[in-house]
C-alpha cells in the first residue's frame, strides 16, 4: 500500500513492533477515515495495546510505515502528533493519582490559556467534574476515573482517538454513558476512533468496522452488521 489517500487520518502499512527480542505486532495493515470508528478486538497478549503504543511512538516501529494525518510518523514526535489532534486513552496508569483533577486536565493542554475552553468542553460531557476540580484523581471511583480520562482525551477536540480498553471493570450504566459520549463526539466533530476492546458488546455498539487481532496479525475483519457478533465471538471463544 504505497499511496496514502490524504483523506485518511490513520494508515498502518504492514507494521511490526515489540519489546526486546519479542515481536508482538507482526504485520498489521489498517486504515481509518475521518468519522470512522474501528473496533480492534482480540484476546489478551495478542498485541492490541502494543499497537496503540506504537502508533503514538511510545514504542519504536520496527517495520512498515505509519501515516498520521497523512504525514509519515517517522518524522513526528508524540508531542507533534498530539498537537495535530491525536488523543490517547491508556489502559493502565492513565492518571496522576496524586494530582488534582484540574492538574490532570491541565497537563493535557498545551498552554494554560487554552484551559478554559477545553474544560468547558469536558464539562459538557461529564458535568460532575466541574465541582470536583480540586479533588485528587486517586480519590475518584474506578468509573469516574475512566470518565475523567476520556474527558481529558476529548477536551482538545481530537481528530483521532486511540482508546485502550476503556470499558474494563465498568458498570453497565457507565458504559452506556460512554457509548453516548463517543457517538456524540463522532457526529459533531467527525472524530475518528480506534477502539481496542475485549468487551464485545460495547465494541460492536459503537463501531462501524471491526478487526480481530491474533498473534500480532489481523485474522479477520468486517463491517458491523447482524452477524458481526457471531463471527467475532467465534474468534474470541475458547
Partner 1 sequence: MLLLLDILTTAAILFVVSVGLLAIFGVLKIINFAHGAWLTIGAYCAVVAVKLGLNPWAGLPIAFVAGALLGGVAELLIIRPLYRRPLDAILATWGLGIVIGQLIALAFGRDVQLIPNLMSGTVRVLSVDYSVYRLFMLFAALAIGVLFALTIEGTRLGLSARAVIMNETLARSLGIDTDRVRLATFMIGAGLAALAGVLLTPLTSVDPNMGVAWLIGAFMLVMVADTSYLALAAACLVFGGAQVLVSTFVSPVLGGISVAVLAALLLRINPRGFSRA
Partner 2 sequence: MPEDTALLNGRPASTTALEWRAPAAAALVAALIVWISPLVLGAFAANVLTRSMLYATLAVTVDLLWGFTGILTFGQAAFFGVGAYATAMTMTSLGSTPAWMAAALALAIVLPMVLGLVVGWLSFYHGSTPLYASVISLVFPIVVTQLVYSGGLLTGSSSGLVGYDTLPLDLEGFFRLSGLVMVAVTLAAWVFVRSDAGKLLVAVRDNDVRCAYLGVSPRRVQIMLTVALAGVAGVAGFLFAHASGVVAPENTGFLFGTQVVIWVALGGRGSLLGPVFATLAIDYLSASLSGDLPFLWQLVLGAAFVIIIIFLPDGVAGLARRASASIFRSSKQTRVPRIALAAPHSAVERSATLLKVSGLARSFGSLSVLENINLEIRPGELVSIVGPNGAGKTTLIRCLSDGSEPFKGVVEIGGKPMKGLTPDRVVALGVGRKFQVASIFESLTVAECLRLARTTSETPSGIGSAPRLSLPVASIEILRLTGLIDLIASPAGLLSHGMKQALELGMVLALEPRLILLDEPTAGLTKAERATIGTVLRHLTAEAGYAIILVEHDLDFVREISSRVVVLHQGRLVLDGAVDDVVNSETVRTIYSGGGHV
Instruction: Report DSSP letters for 36-83, one per residue.
Output: -EEEEE--TTSSHHHHHHHHTTSS---EEEEEETTEEGGG--HHHHHH
Residue 194's SS3 state is strand
- Binding positions for partner 2, 151-170, rule CB under 8 A: 167-169
Binding mask 10-39 for partner 2 (x = CB under 8 A): ----------xxxxx---------------
From the list partner 2, partner 1, none, pick the one residue 223 interacts with, judged by a Cβ distance below 5 to 8 Å according to partner type.
none
45 forms part of the interface with partner 2 (CB under 8 A): yes
133 forms part of the interface with partner 1 (CB under 8 A): no
Residue 91's SS3 state is coil
Give the residue, chosen from 8, 13, 31, 43, that forms a contact with partner 2 under the rule CB under 8 A.
43
230 forms part of the interface with partner 2 (CB under 8 A): no
233 forms part of the interface with partner 2 (CB under 8 A): yes
Cβ at position 49, least distance to partner 1 in Å:
12
- Of 31, 3, 48, the closest CA to residue 212 belongs to 48
Give the residue, chosen from 19, 112, 173, 188, that forms a contact with partner 1 under the rule CB under 8 A.
112
Measured distance CA(65)–CA(47) in Å, rounded: 17
Q: How far is CA 33 from CA 20, 82, 90, in A?
A: 32, 18, 22
Binding residues for partner 2, rule CB under 8 A, total 23
Q: Return left, alpha or beta for 136; rule: phi > 0 is left, psi -120 to 50 is alpha, else beta.
A: beta
Find where cell 511512538 sits: 57
How many Cα atoms within 13 Å fall on the side-chain side of residue 156? Answer: 26
Kindly state the cell numbers that stand for 235.
Answer: 474468534
60 forms part of the interface with partner 2 (CB under 8 A): no
Which contiguous run of DSSP H or E holds residue 238? none
Kindly state the cell numbers that stand for 190.
Answer: 467527525
Cβ at position 227, least distance to partner 1 in Å:
36
Cβ at position 80, least distance to partner 1 in Å:
8
- Binding positions for partner 1, 40-99, rule CB under 8 A: 56, 58, 77-79, 81-83, 88, 90, 93-96, 98-99
Binding mask 182-201 for partner 2 (x = CB under 8 A): ---------------xxxxx
Binding site for partner 2 (CB under 8 A): 20-24, 43-45, 167-169, 171-172, 197-202, 233, 236-238
Binding site for partner 1 (CB under 8 A): 56, 58, 77-79, 81-83, 88, 90, 93-96, 98-99, 103, 106-108, 110-112, 152
Amino acid at each position: 500500500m504505497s499511496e496514502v489517500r490524504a483523506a485518511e487520518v490513520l494508515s498502518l502499512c504492514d507494521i511490526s513492533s515489540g519489546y526486546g527480542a519479542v515481536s508482538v505486532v507482526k504485520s498489521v495493515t489498517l486504515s481509518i477515515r475521518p468519522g470512522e470508528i474501528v473496533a480492534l478486538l482480540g484476546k489478551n497478549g495478542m498485541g492490541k495495546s502494543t499497537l496503540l503504543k506504537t502508533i503514538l511512538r511510545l514504542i519504536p516501529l520496527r517495520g512498515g510505515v505509519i501515516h498520521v494525518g497523512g504525514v509519515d510518523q517517522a518524522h513526528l514526535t508524540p508531542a507533534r502528533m498530539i498537537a495535530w489532534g491525536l488523543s490517547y486513552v491508556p489502559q493502565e496508569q492513565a492518571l496522576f493519582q496524586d494530582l488534582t483533577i484540574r492538574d490532570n486536565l491541565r497537563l493535557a493542554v498545551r498552554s494554560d490559556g487554552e484551559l478554559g475552553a477545553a474544560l468547558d468542553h469536558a464539562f459538557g460531557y461529564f458535568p460532575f467534574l466541574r465541582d470536583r476540580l480540586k479533588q485528587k484523581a486517586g480519590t475518584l471511583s474506578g468509573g469516574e476515573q475512566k470518565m475523567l480520562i476520556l474527558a481529558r482525551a476529548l477536551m482538545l477536540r481530537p481528530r483521532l482517538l486511540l482508546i485502550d480498553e476503556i470499558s474494563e471493570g465498568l458498570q453497565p450504566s457507565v458504559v452506556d454513558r460512554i457509548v453516548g459520549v463517543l457517538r456524540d463526539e463522532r457526529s459533531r466533530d467527525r472524530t475518528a476512533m480506534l477502539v481496542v476492546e475485549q468487551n464485545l458488546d460495547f465494541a460492536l455498539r459503537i463501531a462501524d468496522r471491526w478487526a480481530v487481532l491474533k498473534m500480532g496479525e489481523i485474522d479477520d475483519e468486517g463491517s458491523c452488521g447482524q452477524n458481526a457478533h457471531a463471527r467475532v465471538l467465534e474468534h474470541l471463544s475458547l
